[in-house]
Amino acid sequence: MDFTAASADEGFRFTVQAEGQWRRIGRQLHHAPEAVAAAHVVDAFSEMAAACPIVTAKELQYRANARFGRRVDLPGDRLRINWATAQVYASPEDLHLAQDRIRLRARAQMDRELRQLQVVQALAYRDQLREDPTLILAQLLLDSPAAVTDQTIAMIPKIAARVGAYAPGAAWVQTAHLLDEWYGGLAPDAKQFVVDRLCTVAREFGGEKVAQRLKDAHRVGAHSSGPVEGTIHESSTGPPGNEPST
């Protein structure tokens, strides 16, 4: 008998040529036992074919014949299928179209993965720029040193502000830039006083590690690492230049 079965690829069907042997077991209950045997083969093959791409006709044939090589009893119809075999085919046109689909799907998957990688790289680069916008200048110097001009360098703070504006905790990013600009113009003794005061505040709220990192970052001298009480007493006189008269 000849029939077709749908493959796992939408729109493509296997062509099948099957034969087999059956016999009755007990009193005849069905008027068309041959049709019962044929329907069993078709249904069993269609179930397997639905999970197979059209390009796997030979593999499907082996699986089907391994299954049909065993005797099967259909007790409801008093029928026994001794054996069956199947020859499975796919047309050259279907194979060509299916292979084109496979290539297109592979290309689309590659494009999706490439876009995802670009997004991941962009996110990583954005996060790095939030921490250090001068990476833009470093990259330009590496990739296109001739493109680095005074105008390019002047744009970096604007880029940093734009990146920081959309960063999580953007207010603190902008605050850090403002403090950095203000701090950079202070005299050395005033800078020392600011760092001492920040360390004191950090310790008052349980930030010993933060205070230590501040000291390390600004290379604060050993005299500022004393007890909290001493620091508070020192800071109570106000910043340098505002000492009370004696």
Using CA atoms, how far apart are residues 204 and 106, in angstroms rounded to an integer? 60
Q: Can you give the pLDDT at residue 239?
A: 55
pLDDT at 18: 95
Nearest CA to 84 out of 19, 23, 25 is that of 19
Can you give the pLDDT at residue 59?
96
Please tell me the predicted confidence (pLDDT) of residue 244. 47
Q: Specify whether the backbone of 122 is left (phi greater than 0), alpha (psi in -120 to 50) or beta.
A: alpha
pLDDT the model gives residue 122: 87
What digits encode the pLDDT tens for the residues 86-138?
999 999 999 999 999 999 999 999 999 999 999 998 888 877 777 777 777 78
Report the predicted TM-score, pTM, of the whole model to 2 decimal places.
0.50
Q: How confident is the model at residue 169, as a pLDDT?
A: 61
Residue type, 236: S
Q: d(Cα 40, Cα 30) in Å, to the nearest integer?
A: 14
pLDDT of 2 reads: 94
DSSP 8-state class, residue 22? E
pLDDT along the chain (246 residues), means of 10: 94 94 79 90 96 95 94 86 95 94 93 94 81 76 80 78 66 75 86 90 90 82 41 45 47
Kind and range of the H or E run holding 152: helix 150-165
**Residue 3 CB coordination number (10 Å):** 16
Distance CA 125, CA 107 (A): 27
Q: What pLDDT, on a 0 to 100 scale, did the predictor assign at position 177?
A: 73
Structure tokens of 57? 């006709």
Q: Quick check: 174 and 161 in contact, CB under 8 A?
A: yes
Element of type H or E holding 25: none
Quote the DSSP letter at residue 71.
-
